[in-house]
């Protein structure tokens, strides 16, 4: 159950507003939301509101502290208030599905939704995290078509990455996970990908270090989508030996805080040319949602400058 929030309007520091706001936040403003709990740490409003302002679009993005209990009413409100849509995050990514009218293919395969689009009362669920990961690679000239990928993880970030890569022409995805509460999801992801796409997916135990090392050596792309590298595991990496990597591969870490993870340092030592943190994925998943709501490309270079 979400905490009761004081709904008094508090004083805050408003940066970048040097005069009266006109033509924005008026009677025509269209609302987009984010429904999650907890929510106060999110960077999404900064991203979307700056994109609206930069492009001169009369939209506003606001956060709503919504847990599973409040979810049905919140989804009703999307229709009632004629909102353009909403992002959805934990704990609502799976729970929201029964309240929607349609799901795109990626959401069906992930069994999760992070973006809702309201087309005149018809609510469609999308999952843009995997697309965000792919777009961030594409932006730097990298692609997954025909590639062999070793992917560590099977949680909320890894699942849409695996599904999107498989739908976007990856040749092979080898999913490594610990024998923990996400192992079952790893098995499910592999089954779904093999059933629904031409990509060959296999599931492996992360505890088998030799298998993991061999797989990375044979891969074009290594992606770590586990919690390792992020607080409180920021001093750890699943690969600590640079000799496991080869120069021409892509090494991608989904972590964006810190901006340079231990994994990235190891990849750098190995001379890997294409190394990415998760900031591109984070911005591009937002850009993919923004495109669904507005039909416009988010000015991502400008947004990245603001976020850095």
- CA proximity to 112, closest of 131, 130, 102, 126: 126
The span from the CA of 298 to the CA of 208, in Å, is 42
Choose between 199 and 288: whose C-beta lies nearer to ligand NAD: 288
Q: Count other Cβ atoms within 10 Å, centred on residue 270.
A: 18
Hey, which residues between 254 and 273 contact ligand NAD (CB under 6 A)?
Answer: 254-256
Site for ligand NAD in 282-301 (CB under 6 A): 282, 285
Work out the number of other CB atoms within 10 angstroms of the CB of residue 29: 13
Q: Which of 15, 54, 70, 93 is catalytic?
A: 93
Which range in 70-78, 113-121, 225-233, 300-308 contacts ligand NAD by CB under 6 A?
A: 225-233
DSSP output for 165-202: HHHTT-SEEEEEE-SSTTHHHHHHHHHHHHHHSSSEEE
Q: Residue 162 has what DSSP assignment?
A: H
Question: Applying CB under 6 A, which of residues 42, 108, 227, 304 lies at the interface with ligand NAD?
Answer: 227
Asked if 156 interacts with ligand NAD (CB under 6 A), we say yes
CB of 33 to ligand NAD, least distance (A): 18
Is residue 225 close enough to count as binding ligand NAD by CB under 6 A?
Answer: yes
Name the one range near ligand NAD by CB under 6 A: 18-26, 207-215, 223-231, 298-306.
223-231
From the number of C-beta atoms within 10 Å of its C-beta (0-12, 13-18, 19+), residue 60 rates as middle
Helix (H, G, I), strand (E, B) or coil at 295: coil
Class of residue 23 by CB neighbours under 10 A (exposed 0-12, middle 13-18, buried 19+): exposed
Task: Kindly report the length of the chain.
Answer: 308
Contact between 278 and ligand NAD per CB under 6 A: yes
Window 203-222: residues binding ligand NAD (CB under 6 A): 206
- Binding ligand NAD (rule: CB under 6 A), the pick from 45, 72, 91, 155 is 155
Indicate which single residue of 230, 265, 299, 304 sits in contact with ligand NAD (rule: CB under 6 A). Answer: 230
Provide the phi-psi class of 195: left if phi over 0, else alpha when psi is between -120 and 50, else beta: alpha
Q: Is 145 a catalytic residue?
A: no
Of 77 and 303, the one with the shorter C-beta distance to ligand NAD is 303
How far from chain centre, in Å, is Cα 3? 26
Query: Taking the complex as a whole, how short is the minimal distance between the CB of residue 28 and ligand NAD, in angstroms?
Result: 31
Q: What does the per-residue mask of binding to ligand NAD show for 158-197, with x meaning CB under 6 A? A: x------------------xx-x-x---------------
Neighbours of 39 (CB within 10 A): 18
Give the interface with ligand NAD as residue ranges (CB under 6 A).
Answer: 129, 132, 153-158, 177-178, 180, 182, 206, 225-228, 230, 233, 254-256, 278, 281-282, 285
Catalytic positions are 93
């Amino acid at each position: 159950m979400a905490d009761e929030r004081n709904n008094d309007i508090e004083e805050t520091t408003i940066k970048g507003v040097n005069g009266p706001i006109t033509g924005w936040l008026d009677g025509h403003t269209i609302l987009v939301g984010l429904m999650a709990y907890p929510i106060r740490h999110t960077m999404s409003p900064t991203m979307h509101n700056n994109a609206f302002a930069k492009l001169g679009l009369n939209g506003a993005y606001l956060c709503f502290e919504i847990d599973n209990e409040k979810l049905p009413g919140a989804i009703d409100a999307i229709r009632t208030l004629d909102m353009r849509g909403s992002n959805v995050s934990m704990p609502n990514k799976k729970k929201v599905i029964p309240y929607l009218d349609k799901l795109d293919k990626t959401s069906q395969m992930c069994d999760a939704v992070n973006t809702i689009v309201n087309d005149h009362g018809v609510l469609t669920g999308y999952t843009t995290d995997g697309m965000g990961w792919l777009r961030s690679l594409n932006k730097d000239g990298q692609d997954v078509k025909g590639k062999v990928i070793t992917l560590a993880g099977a949680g909320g970030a890894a699942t849409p990455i695996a599904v999107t890569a498989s739908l976007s022409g990856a040749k092979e995805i080898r999913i490594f996970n610990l024998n923990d509460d996400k192992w079952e999801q790893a098995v499910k992801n592999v089954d779904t990908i093999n059933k629904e796409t031409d990509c060959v997916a296999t599931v492996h135990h992360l505890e088998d270090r030799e298998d993991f090392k061999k797989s990375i050596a044979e891969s074009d792309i290594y992606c770590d989508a586990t919690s390792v590298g992020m607080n409180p595991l920021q001093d750890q990496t699943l690969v600590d030996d640079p000799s496991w990597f080869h120069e021409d591969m892509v090494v991608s870490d989904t972590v964006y805080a810190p901006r340079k993870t231990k994994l990235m340092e190891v990849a750098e030592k190995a001379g890997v040319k294409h190394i990415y943190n998760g900031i591109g994925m984070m911005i591009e998943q937002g850009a993919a949602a923004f495109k669904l709501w507005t039909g416009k490309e988010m000015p991502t270079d400008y947004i990245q400058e603001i976020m850095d």
